Structure formats: structure tokens, C-alpha cells
């Protein structure tokens, strides 16, 4: 359980740092892209206000040196012809290429935007004229290349930070969960010590009651005492068993004849079923083997069978099936249970959970059995689930 808790802690912490890193990297690069886009549009709008050229005589936005930094051209498309202007500012684009880019921008159905053309990136703005369109195109490949390098660098740094964080959390996680581990160990110690301490007074009460029955005969009060002693003894034994089960770390799993163990457990419960008006049906596949530990496997089956018999409706059916599905074995135990609707089945494997919250149910039990069953299945590295449909409650164990 400690290892599982540590894995959950590491997974949660890693997921959190990944989300935070992605948000930071995404926000920074998104802002940089937005600022670059706005800068491109500001340049295009300035050229547009100058009717497709830069006016250097009265210029507060650009210097004359900016001429060698800006690579742009203007294409004017009218009903009669298309004219390319400013081609001296960009030597890598001839007239045909300029017209091709301009017509692509014209068909983008937007008055401005960013256009990718093979390995080049262009920003454009379209002005409406009386007899046509003026398309101003700015080569901003270098700017977007720098943005791309910044994005890649930030991603690499983010990944390195996540790896370093995971390594740091792996090394420090024992310290982080130590208080929780100490609390669990204290709980286990308390349950074990309290269980042993309570057994002594219960044994004394039981012995005294037996003496009273020998001297004065059996009465309603002595029967009540013995019933409560048995009930408390059962609770203590279940608590101690649950505590010991959670302490099991290096359980030895071996090949077990699942079919034989299941049939043996069913035979044990047959007299109980025969004493009621309930019916037990089985469908058990032969020679099903599982990698488990025999005592815990028997305890698992006993818990589920006892639960099915206890909560089966009068005159109802209890069903047990076992079959092999690929490399996994599937045990299914179900019973009729008309009162099973509107129950929170997600809590069925919680310790001390009982559907009757008033604790006035005539059915005996402390809400520990199913929690023990879940612990056993976890030891076997399997899965257990509960379903309810059409008045039937079904427990499915996959190992």
C-alpha cells in the first residue's frame, strides 16, 4: 500500500508540474506570437497609410536604416492588369512569384493575415481601391524563425525542468509521505494491541457467563452476553486480519488450482444454503489456474459467498461462475437483491461501510469483509468490481 501511495503521489506531483510548465510555456510563446503578429500588422498598416511605400521624408516609425531590414512589395490588382511595386526591397521574389503570392493572399478571404509559402512566411494586408485591390506583402520569415527557435528552446527547457523535478520528487517523496506512513503504522499498532487487550476481558466475560449458566441455568441474559461476546470476538478478529493483510508486502504467489479451491469453498457453504429457501447455481470451468496465495484466495471466495448468501432475497438465486479469458481468470458471484437500487456501489469496498446507515439491519456484519476482499485482490494484482442491474448484484474478480 505504501508503494502504491508513493506512486500516486509521484504521478499527481508530476502531472501538476507538467500542467504548470505547459501553461507557462504556452502563455509565454502565445504572447510572443501575438506581439510579433501585432508588430507585423503595424508595419503593414504604416506602409498601407503611405499608399504602398515608405515615406522617409517624414518618418517617425522607421529610420533610413530600416530600409535594409524590411523586405516587402506591393501588388495592385485592377480590372485591367496587375502591377508589382517595391520589388527592389526584396530580391528573392520576382514578378511572377509576387503575383502568385498576392493571388493566394487575395483568396484567403481575410483583409489581413499570415501566409506560409514553403519555407517563407509572409504577412499581408489588403486595401480596397476604387477600381481594384492593393495587397501589401511583408516577408517576416526571419521574425517567425526566431519565434520558432524560442518555442523549441522553451520546450526543451520545460522538459528538462520536468525531468529534474521528477528526479527530485522521487528522491524526496519518502520524506513527503513519511507522516502518512507513520500514521498508518500507528493505526496498525493500535488495532493489533487493542485487539489483543480486548480479547482478555471478553474471555473473562465468556467464562463468567458459562459459570453462571452452570450454577443458575441458561437465561435470556446469559444468551445475550454470549451473543455479544461472539460478535465482539468476530469484529476483533476481522480487524486484526485486515491489519495484518495490509502489512503483507512480500506475499509469495504461486500457481493455484482455482477450480478446486472454489469448489471446496462452495461445498463448505452448501449446508447454509440448504437450510434456506435459496438456490445456488454454478458454472465452473475445469482446470482453471491462477497465480495467487491459497489462504488469501480462500478468504476472498468465502467473503464473497457469505455476502451473496446473506443479502440474497428469500427464494432468490445465488450464482457462481469461473472461466478463463485469455491469460486472466474471471470469477463472478451474483445474487438476487431487490433492495439494491439507489445504493452507492462506489463505496462498497470502503472499510466499515454499510448500506444501512442506521446500523439497525438484521443482517450481521461490520462492513469489513468487502474491504478485506478488495485488499486480497490488490495483493494478487487483480481487479474487483460490483454492478447492479435488473435486481441482481454482481461481484466480478479478475486475476
Which CA distances in Å does 379 have to 94, 389, 396? Answer: 74, 28, 16
> 290 and 225 share a domain?
no
Residues 314 and 385 reside in one and the same domain? yes
Cα 273 to chain centroid, rounded: 41
Q: What is the CA radius of gyration of the chain?
A: 39
The distance of Cα 49 from the centroid of its chain, to the nearest Å, equals: 56
Are residue 171 and residue 187 in the same domain, yes or no? no
Q: 110 and 7 in contact (C-beta within 8 Å)?
A: no
Domain range enclosing 68: 1-175
Q: Dmax over Cα atoms in the chain, in whole Å?
A: 126
One domain for residues 277 and 321: yes
**For position 217, which CATH number holds?**
1.10.287.130
Whether residues 390 and 308 share a domain: the answer is yes
Instruction: Assign 359 to helix, strand or coil.
Output: coil
Are 20 and 158 in contact by the 8 Å Cβ rule? The answer is: no
Q: What is the CATH number of the domain that holds 348?
A: 3.30.565.10
φ, ψ (nearest 5 deg) of residue 176: -65, -35
> Exposed/middle/buried for 18, CB within 10 Å: 0-12, 13-18, 19+?
middle
Residue 230 sits in the same domain as residue 263: no
With a cut of 50, list the residues of the chain below it in pLDDT.
357-362, 364-366
- Could you say which of 142, 175, 208 is where a domain stops? 175
> In this predicted structure, what is the pLDDT of residue 1?
61
Number of domains in the chain: 3
8 A C-beta contact, residue 238 and residue 352: no
Q: Which helix (H) or strand (E) holds 386?
A: strand 383-389
Using an 8 Å Cβ cutoff, are 84 and 73 in contact? Answer: yes
Mark whether 203 and 273 lie in a shared domain: no
**139 lies in the same domain as 208:** no
Write out the H or E segment, with its range, that includes residue 77.
strand 72-78
Do residues 29 and 151 make contact, with C-beta atoms less than 8 angstroms apart? Answer: yes
**Structure confidence by residue, pLDDT tens digits, 284-311:** 888 889 888 888 888 888 889 988 888 8
- Judgement on whether residues 54 and 92 belong to the same structural domain of the protein: yes
- This prediction has a pTM of 0.52
pLDDT value, residue 244: 62
pLDDT of residue 192: 66
Taking the chain, what is the end-to-end CA distance rounded to the nearest angstrom?
18
For 329, residues 6+ apart whose C-beta sits below 8 A from its C-beta are 258, 288, 289, 290, 322, 323, 398, 399
Angle of CA points 347, 351, 354, to nearest 5°:
60
Looking at the fold, whether 34 and 171 belong to one and the same domain comes out as: yes
- Per-residue confidence (pLDDT) for residue 366, from 0 to 100: 43
150 and 209 in a single domain? The answer is no
Same domain, 243 and 319: no
Amino acid at each position: 500500500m505504501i508503494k502504491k501511495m508513493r506512486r500516486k503521489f509521484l504521478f499527481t506531483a508530476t502531472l501538476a508540474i507538467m500542467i504548470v510548465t505547459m501553461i507557462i510555456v504556452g502563455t509565454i510563446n502565445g504572447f510572443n506570437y501575438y506581439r510579433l503578429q501585432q508588430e507585423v500588422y503595424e508595419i503593414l498598416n504604416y506602409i498601407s497609410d503611405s499608399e504602398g511605400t515608405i515615406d522617409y521624408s517624414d518618418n517617425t516609425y522607421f529610420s533610413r536604416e530600416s530600409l535594409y531590414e524590411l523586405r516587402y512589395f506591393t501588388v495592385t490588382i485592377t480590372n485591367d492588369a496587375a502591377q508589382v511595386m517595391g520589388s527592389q526591397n526584396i530580391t528573392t521574389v520576382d514578378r511572377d512569384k509576387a503575383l502568385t503570392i498576392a493571388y493566394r493572399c487575395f483568396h484567403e478571404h481575410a483583409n489581413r493575415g499570415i501566409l506560409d509559402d514553403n519555407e517563407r512566411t509572409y504577412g499581408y494586408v489588403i486595401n480596397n481601391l476604387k477600381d481594384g485591390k492593393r495587397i501589401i506583402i511583408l516577408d517576416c520569415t526571419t521574425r517567425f524563425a526566431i519565434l520558432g527557435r524560442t518555442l523549441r528552446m522553451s520546450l526543451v527547457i520545460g522538459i528538462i525542468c520536468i525531468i529534474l523535478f521528477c528526479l527530485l520528487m522521487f528522491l524526496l517523496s519518502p520524506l513527503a509521505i513519511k507522516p502518512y506512513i507513520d500514521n498508518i503504522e500507528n493505526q496498525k499498532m493500535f488495532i493489533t494491541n487493542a485487539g489483543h487487550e480486548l480479547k482478555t476481558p471478553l474471555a473473562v466475560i465468556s467464562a463468567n457467563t458459562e459459570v453462571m449458566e452452570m450454577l443458575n441455568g441458561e437465561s435470556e441474559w446469559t444468551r445475550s452476553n454470549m451473543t455479544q461476546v461472539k460478535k465482539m470476538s468476530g469484529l476483533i478478529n476481522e480487524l486484526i486480519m485486515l491489519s495484518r493483510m495490509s502489512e503483507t508486502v512480500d506475499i509469495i504467489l504461486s500457481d493455484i488450482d482455482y477450480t478446486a479451491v472454489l469448489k471446496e469453498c462452495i461445498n463448505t457453504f452448501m449446508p447454509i444454503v440448504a437450510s434456506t429457501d435459496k438456490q445456488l447455481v454454478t458454472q465452473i470451468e475445469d482446470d482453471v489456474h491462477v497465480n495467487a496465495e491459497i489462504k488469501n484466495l480462500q478468504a476472498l471466495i468465502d467473503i464473497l459467498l457469505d455476502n451473496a448468501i446473506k443479502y440474497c432475497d428469500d427464494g432468490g438465486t445465488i450464482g457462481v461462475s469461473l472461466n478463463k479469458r485469455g491469460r486472466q481468470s474471471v470469477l463472478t458471484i451474483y445474487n438476487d437483491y431487490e433492495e439494491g437500487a439507489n445504493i452507492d456501489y462506489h463505496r462498497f469496498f470502503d472499510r466499515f461501510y454499510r448500506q444501512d446507515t442506521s446500523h439497525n439491519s438484521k443482517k450481521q456484519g461490520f462492513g469489513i469483509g468487502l474491504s478485506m476482499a478488495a485488499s486480497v485482490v490488490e495483493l494478487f494484482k487483480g481487479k474487483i468490481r460490483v454492478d447492479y442491474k435488473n435486481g441482481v448484484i454482481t461481484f466480478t474478480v479478475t486475476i
